[in-house]
Amino acid sequence: LNRRLAEFGTTIFAEMSALAVSTGSINLGQGFPDTDGPEEVREAAVRALRDGRGNQYPPGPGIPELRTAIAAHQLRRYGLSYDPDTEVLVTAGATEAIAASLLALLEPGDEVVALEPYYDSYAASIAMAGGRRVPVTLRPYSDNGAEGTEGARFRLDLDELRAAVTDRTRLLLINTPHNPTGTVLTRAELAAIAELAVERDLLVVTDEVYEHLVFDDAEHLPLAAFPGMRERTVTIGSAGKTFSFTGWKVGWVTAAPELVSAVRAVKQFLTYVSSGPFQYAVAEALALPESYFDGFRRDMLARRDILAQGLTEAGFTVFRPAGTYFITTDIRPLGEKDGFAFCRALPERAGVVAIPNAVFYDDREAGAPFVRFAFCKREEVLREAAERLRHL
Ligand code: PMP
Ligand code: GLN
């Protein structure tokens, strides 16, 4: 592996999922649902395969039906209008969208300000593009300013964000709802990010793959909808998360024409095109009635609550997530302080696999006490996991 990528070995998800299999543990590590998405969407994929739609190279930017469906979704949900021909690009999952965006928009040495903890592909993609990552750390504070207590939420310190931007900063890499903390950035936080981006003339890449997974009073607000942002923001979505088909690897980018054409130029040489038949199915999925999205959210909310209660009863400090598939916990109340050691031992101790949040930090110390559990699993699986964890 070359020097740019030497620090990136096997992803933690592959390592932990393999550990779950080899120990027969319940896998609350990697975020993938243990049930498939809607049957009619699977049927749509079968029909496309059978009818020979997309079995040969589809168009580079994605099939028109899917680009139109993505644009319609952004308009219907957020009032954001994108031209399917020039402002939408279909990618091989959000992962390719992230990598292609950074490869397209960064010059070597450019700085990228990203929220820490960050999803692991961000650091690797910035490195592939020859950029430098500059983390701004989210920290758990409650409304009354107490740090790390029950009821706390991982917050963005706006002064730290401002201080992280230098003359070498090219772009901000944002993620809301946020993996792994479960934080959904508030209107005030997003407005401050937008103001800063406009003031310093920065591009923004925003990973909104969990846009449909927001709970309680939280609301997902797309960064592209804030003043001055439409023309400088690359927004990323994924059918993997929204329709529970993580294996299909269909993602997308919406942005202004010159940004989309830059990302498209890179995508040509990464994958050339994305797999065809699934694009037809996802086009149909995006047109599902609101009741699908509501039901999906309600299901995940019920699962969050089962796991949150189980983890609380087992003695973890639980940071109740406002979004995503994930609950971040603090293991210090269990007398533990090293999330890595804890997660490596957990399969033997309890038959459960989780992810040490430290892998998402440059400052491993700062991430050490936090451990992430995925709740995108069947309720009986979550109950069994909670029962096992109670006997830690
Ligand atoms: N961004 C975030 C924040 C994620 O959690 C994930 C995947 N779990 C991805 C991107 C990658 O999405 P995809 O599977 O569509 O490549
Ligand atoms: N994004 C998922 C997670 O955070 C996993 C995706 C992957 O394994 N690359 O768990």
* Distance, CA of 136 to CA of 363 (rounded, Å): 10
Nearest CA to ligand 2 atom 9: 13
- What value does the mean pLDDT take over residues 137-163? 85
* pLDDT score of 10: 84
pLDDT at 72: 98
Q: Which CATH class is domain 3-37+291-390?
A: alpha beta
Ligand 1 neighbour 244 (Cβ under 6 A) = no
- The pLDDT tens digits of the residues spanning 84-139 come to 999 999 999 999 999 999 999 999 999 999 999 999 999 999 999 999 999 999 99
Question: pLDDT class for 321, splitting at 50, 70, 90?
Answer: very high
Nearest CA to ligand 2 atom 3: 31
- Residue 172, beta-bridge partner list: 113, 204
Residue 46: the pLDDT is 98
In testing the pocket of ligand 2, which one of 32, 360, 370, 377 has its CB within 8 Å of the most ligand atoms? 32
Q: What does the buried/exposed string (b/e) look like for 9-22 if buried means 16 or more CB atoms within 10 Å of the residue's CB? A: eeebbebbbebbee
Q: pTM of the entire structure?
A: 0.97
Exposure string for 190-210, b = 16+ CB within 10 A, e = fewer: bbbbbbbbeeeebbbbbbbbb
Query: Per-residue pLDDT for 149 more than 80?
Result: no
Residue 177: is the preceding peptide bond cis (ω within 30°)? yes
Three-state SS string over 250-302 comes to: CEEEECCHHHHHHHHHHHHHHCCCCCHHHHHHHHHHHCCCHHHHHHHHHHHHH
Q: Where in the chain is the domain with CATH 3.40.640.10?
A: 40-286
Q: What is the pLDDT of residue 50?
A: 98
Of residues 17, 2, 9, 72, the one with CA closest to residue 374? 17
Q: What is the largest CA-CA distance in the chain?
A: 59
- Does any ligand 2 atom lie closer than 6 A to the CB of residue 238? no
Q: Which residue carries 């409304």 as its tokens?
A: 143
Q: What tens digit of pLDDT does each residue of 339-390 get?
A: 999 999 999 999 999 999 999 999 999 999 999 999 999 999 999 999 999 9
Q: Identify the nearest ligand to the CA of 247 by its number.
A: 1
CA 27 to chain centre: 18
Query: What is the reported pLDDT for 150?
Result: 65
Q: What mean pLDDT do residues 194-199 have?
A: 98
Render pLDDT for 44-86 as a digit per residue (tens, 0 to 9). 999 999 999 999 999 999 999 999 999 999 999 999 999 999 9
Q: Do 61 and 268 form a contact (C-beta atoms < 8 A)? A: no
Q: Where in the chain is the domain with CATH 3.90.1150.10?
A: 3-37+291-390
Do residues 249 and 218 make contact, with C-beta atoms less than 8 angstroms apart? no
Q: Looking at the CA of 15, name the nearest ligand.
A: 2
Block residue for tokens 């033997």: 348
Q: Which percentage of the chain shows pLDDT scores above 70?
A: 98
Tell me whether the omega of the peptide bond preceding residue 117 falls within 30 degrees of 0, making it cis.
yes
Does residue 93 have its Cβ closer than 6 Å to ligand 1?
A: yes
The rounded mean pLDDT for the chain is 96
- What ipTM, to 2 d.p.? 0.97
Give the tokens for residue 126. Answer: 């910035």
Dihedral angle sign, alpha carbons of residues 189, 194, 200, 204: positive
Distances (CA, A) of 37 to 45, 50, 75, 328: 12, 20, 23, 25
- CATH number for the domain running over 40-286: 3.40.640.10
